[in-house]
Structure formats: structure tokens, C-alpha cells
Amino acid sequence: MNIRNIAIIAHVDHGKTTLVDKMIHSAKLFRENQQFDDLILDNNELERERGITIVSKNVSIRYKDTKINIIDTPGHADFGGEVERVLKMADGVLLLVDAFEGPMPQTRFVLTKAIQLGLKPVLVINKVDKPNCRPDEVHEAVFDLMFNVGANEEQLDFVTLYGSAKQGWMSYDWKQPTTDITPLLDTILKVIPPPKTEQGSLQMQITSLDYSNFLGRIAIGRVYRGEIAVGMQVALCKADGSVKKMRVKELQTFEGLNRASVEKVQAGDICAVVGLEEFEIGDTIADVEKPEALPRIAIDEPTMSMLFTINNSPFFGRDGKFVTSRHLRDRLLKETEKNLALRVEFTDREDTFIVYGRGILHLSILIETMRREGYELQVGQPRVLFKEIEGQKHEPIETLVVDVPENVAGKVIELATQRKGELMVMEPKGDLQHLEFKIPSRGLIGLRNLVLTATQGEAVMTHRFIGYEPYKGDIPERTSGSLISKDTGPATAYSIDKLQDRGKFFIDPGEEVYGGQIIGEHTRGSDLVVNVQTAKKLTNVRAAGSDENVKIAPKVQFSLEEAMEYIQKDEYVEVTPTAIRMRKIYLDENERKRMEKEFS
């Protein structure tokens, strides 16, 4: 069978999903009169809103009698767990790079994994139609990057294509545009090797899973050796070394955007298996007579943890469907089945769990997904995970890259160094200044907001985990205290107006708040309890000067990630399907004073 298995890797926003769209169109998978949206593969509501790929997807196209299995991978390092497992299905990678930005830190992260697996790269320099692009410099930068991550001679001898995925063309020379993307498809057939298949009994590794209400859990993976057929008895090799016998009920291969049922699948193809029970990602489906397990997928360790607990605020249960600790526990355990980089630890309290992930974005996507499904929960301050190495405390360190206008580069350097960041590289990049820092993961929490404020939103920030290094010392936390509501009830414009000199507010007049809720940021370092429910006393007497118009500054609006980064040790973020609120863990003022020692 003529098959090519190819993974597409790129940094966030370099046009990866748009390129897959064009490949799908060029293979004419749609009827002439069929309506469809852009970003066909980003079908998850959150992916469309944020413009990022979160979950890897499989799709196949047929070109010149060859089936090309395309695997769309996430570009964000927080979803590295997705990338590490799906690259095992591929024989080559399409590395997509922006013609202006060039290779970014997260491109390096995924590329390193691909090079280590020995995959053959094809370089696509995208967006050459943009003004001030620099394709030749970017080509050199990618060559240097490949060399630095340990590519062998065969991998360094890569083919480069230039083009614009948005306009739908690819060419070997960026100054000579073509009319379509067939040069790219021809290159894939010529350069990417067909799957290596060994002789012998069945071996297939499960690299991802799907769920259907009718069929139950479905195992997806690549057949490395032998063949698998419907009705065949197979052995499932588990992580603990045990082997279970099972029967294949149905087989599906990827055809276009859908899956087609088939009777058998040969080595080299990617397929979905129905009928297996109690399997996990990384398990091997093998021959019953002679079961041989493939090496398990190695996933990088989590670097951050957060406390998840049930919602116990006064507004609990108002708009969520799933509010009990049993609901929360079952949902988190279900997530660990397919989200390999996530871990859940039970605590001595029934309603509290510690969840470990790869970063704030990784955890916030989980919380946002749960919220949309109708869950109510509260989360504590994100904490990085320290390690003891040779008796010394070590912490996770990341590379932070900031592209920023030259006149505000100084402010960014100042903010990063306050948080123990070391400036490693500073060079011009077009009309921007390119800065690279080595910074503790702790220092990144809350830094994005400060940098965007200091640069009037013009900074482009990315970061990736590089390893553990000795503890860098204390990092200053938020310097301002919180404004806390004293009572429960709707806030009045009169009260907020009178308290505006005390700080910035996170609520609008008329919004219902409860005692202990954080409703603003104090101008000083201490917390302040305020009464925002007071209404103006009405009298019969009217005087021209005393009824001045109320002018209230607009409230500060927080996204979920910003709220997670903003809270302190003694605060929670309350997340429900319709609201994100911040609150003190102890709502009663007297109890907070008693418990101060616990958080100091």
C-alpha cells in the first residue's frame, strides 16, 4: 500500500491549521456545492475562540494513488503531552515557520522531539506574501536550529518550500508564486519515506483515544508490524506487564475527515480499534500467541500544580449542573485517561484534589472546558513543583522570548529581571527588539499582564520549559492588597463612586456580590474590607449643587488565566458556567485574622 504518515509542527499562529485546510481542499474532499468553514480541523469551540490547536487530530487525503495521513499537532509547549505521543505515528514532519518571525521557542520544543525520533523533516516557510518578511534569513535560522538540536546529515539535507497557506500556493522559490499547493504534495511523496514495516506478528501502539456514545472507548494508533483484522483475538500488553486477551469488534481507518469501517489494516497505516476494554494510552495490541510490547511513550513531567475543590461560596449551585465532589472527582479522572501530561492526586479531604499539569494554559483549558460542560469548582493559586537534587532545592526554569518595540524594551528587561530573569540574547529583528531570558517558572506567573501593560499591548511573549536548576531565591509577589466586600447583595453606584480613590474595581454597579468576595485592587499593600451595598439616603429637599453626577471608571475584566495568575495564597478563583469570581478562602473577616498564620 502506498502510505505516507506526516505530522505538521509549527509555533502557535504560524498557519498550520490553514495549511491543512488547503491540503484538504486540494484533495477535493468536499462536494462542489458543500458549505464549510475555515479551520476545518479546529472544531472544538475553545480552539476556534483562541485560534490555537489544543488536541491533535488525524485526517487523510489521497493524492496520485497514495494515501497521506496528516496529523495536526498543537503548537503550544503546554500541550507537549499531545505532541510527544502523536509523533510516534509519523514517519516525517512538515515544519511550518513564519517568514517574518522565524523559528520560535515552541517550534524548537516540538522539533527536538521529532529529530530525536529520527523523523525526516520538510521545511515550509509560510506567509511570504507579508510585508517585511525575510525568507532567506529564516531558512538559515532553521538550519542552525536543526543543527543545534542534534539533527543527523540526512535530516539536515531537508527540502524547503516557500508559500502562503492563506492564498493557497507553494513554490521552491519564494519570488515565483505558483497557483496551488501541488509542489508541497509532490515533495511529501518524494521526500517522506513510506512506513517501515517489519516482518512478524501484530504490534500496534495506542497513541490516542476517542469516545463514542454508541461504541464506547475507541483506541487509535499505528500498526507497526503484521496486520489486524475484525473478529481477531488480540493481546493487550499493559503498563504493569500484565496481558489481557480481547477481541476486535470493528476497525476504522481515516478517510478524509471521517472514518471508514474496514475488514483489516496492514502495517504502516493508522487505524481506530473498537471493542477493547480497560486500555490506556501507551498500551500495545499484540499477537495472542506471542505478545511483544513496544516501548512505552515517555512524557515529560508536569511542572505546576493547582488545588481543585468544590464550590462552597454563598452563590453555589446557582448555575452549574455538576457541583458535588463526586462529579468533580469523576471528571478529573476521566480527563487523565486522554490527557497524558495531567496527574490528579487525592488529598485527605474528600472534596479537594491536587491537579498537576504542564503550565497555566494547560490547566486553564481544562478548567474552561469543565466550566462549559456545566461544572462549578474553585481553584487555588498555581504553584510550581520543586525537586530535591543532591540535597539541594531545584526549580523549573524556562526560556522566555519577547519581541517588543525598541522604545519599551528597557521596561520589559526591568520587569523580567525583577523576577530573577537573566537576559541571554538581545538583538534587532525587523523593527522590533528580540529579547531572550532564562527565568524561573515562578517568575512567569502574572508577568504577561505586567509586560502587556508596560508595552501598551505590543509585546509578543512565548516561553518553554528547559529543565531544573538550583532555586533562585524569593520573587516579589503582588504588591497591592485586595478590596473585599463586607456584605452580600447588589453593589450600588453611589458606594462604588465614593470608594474609587481606594482602588480599582472588578465589579459594575448592580452586580451581586457576597461577603468575602474580592471586588477590587487596593491602592496599598494591605487588604481592605468595604461596604458597596450602601444606597444614598433620599430626602425631600433637593439642592442644585449636592446631586453631582456619578462618574465610575469601567471595571477591570479578568480572563480565567489572568484571574489564576492574580490570586494570592489565601484566595480562590470561583469558576461557574456563567461567572469567574475571586474570593478569600475564609469569607468571614474574624476567621481570616485567626488564620493569617496559615498563609504567612
- Binding site, annotated residues for GTP: 13-18, 126-129
Q: Which helix (H) or strand (E) holds 187?
A: helix 182-191
- Which segments are annotated as binding site? 13-18, 126-129
Give the separation between CA 277 and CA 14, rounded to whole angstroms: 39
Amino acid at 117: L
**Quick check: 178 and 170 in contact, CB under 8 A?**
yes
Instruction: Please name which of 82, 130, 133 lies closest in space to residue 106, comparing C-alpha atoms.
Output: 82
Cell 498555581 locates to 382
Residue 366 C-alpha cell reads as 481544562
Give the separation between CA 473 and CA 127, rounded to whole angstroms: 43
Give the separation between CA 43 and CA 285, rounded to whole angstroms: 29
Quote the distance between the C-alpha of residue 530 and its chain's center. Answer: 38
Residues linked to residue 507 through DSSP beta bridges, in sequence order: none
C-alpha distances in Å from residue 416, one per residue of 8, 262, 303, 349: 33, 56, 20, 38
Give the separation between CA 222 and CA 61, rounded to whole angstroms: 17
* 499 contact partners, CB below 8 Å, separation of at least 6: 483, 505, 520, 530, 532
Give, as one character, the DSSP assignment of residue 535.
Answer: P
- Interstrand relation of 482-485 and 528-530 (parallel, antiparallel or unpaired): parallel
Give the separation between CA 401 and CA 151, rounded to whole angstroms: 23
Give the separation between CA 6 and CA 471, rounded to whole angstroms: 40
* 67 contact partners, CB below 8 Å, separation of at least 6: 1, 2, 3, 4, 60, 61, 269
Instruction: Please name which of 334, 319, 317, 256 lies closest in space to residue 63, comparing C-alpha atoms.
Output: 256
**Quick check: 353 and 546 in contact, CB under 8 A?**
no
Give the separation between CA 131 and CA 550, rounded to whole angstroms: 48
Give the 3-state secondary structure of residue 396: strand
Q: What is the dihedral of CA 565, 569, 574, 580, to 10 degrees?
A: -30
Quote the distance between the C-alpha of residue 317 and its chain's center. Answer: 29
C-alpha distances in Å from residue 336, one per residue of 182, 224, 238, 329, 408: 40, 26, 16, 11, 42
Q: Which helix (H) or strand (E) holds 114?
A: helix 105-116
* 189 contact partners, CB below 8 Å, separation of at least 6: 4, 63, 64, 66, 68
- Interstrand relation of 57-63 and 343-346 (parallel, antiparallel or unpaired): unpaired
CA-only gyration radius of the chain, Å: 27
Angle at 55 between CA 465 and CA 94, to 5 degrees: 75
Give the separation between CA 330 and CA 351, rounded to whole angstroms: 12
